[in-house]
Amino acid sequence: MTHLAAGEERVTAWHFKDSSPVTLRANDDAGRLVFCHSYSYEELHGLNRRVVIVDGKLDCPK
């Protein structure tokens, strides 16, 4: 787990197994889930492998 403040960036390696999606979750300082999205390799490639965390994007599969 990594803590990032607003405007900070972190470079990381994404590990995909068997074409399964990778899920990114973010909580605010109070521990409230504010971002959750599952990325496919193709989706990340289309974003130039750069993810912008947006408050309120909560579309992870249940």
Q: How far apart are CA 49 and CA 46, in angstroms?
A: 7
Residue 40 covered by a domain: yes
pLDDT at 59 over 90: yes
Task: Give the model confidence (pLDDT) of 8-57 as tens digits.
Answer: 878 887 777 777 888 889 998 899 999 999 988 889 888 888 888 889 99
The conformation of residue 34, written as its DSSP 8-state character, comes to E
Q: How many structural domains comprise the chain?
A: 1
The conformation of residue 50, written as its DSSP 8-state character, comes to -
**Structural domain span for residue 47:** 22-58
Residue bearing the bigger pLDDT, 17 or 59: 59
Residue 34 covered by a domain: yes
Residue 48 covered by a domain: yes
- Going by C-beta distance under 8 Å and a sequence separation of 6 or more, which residues neighbour residue 21? 38, 39, 40
Provide DSSP, 10-25.
-------STT--EEEE
Identify the pLDDT of residue 47: 87
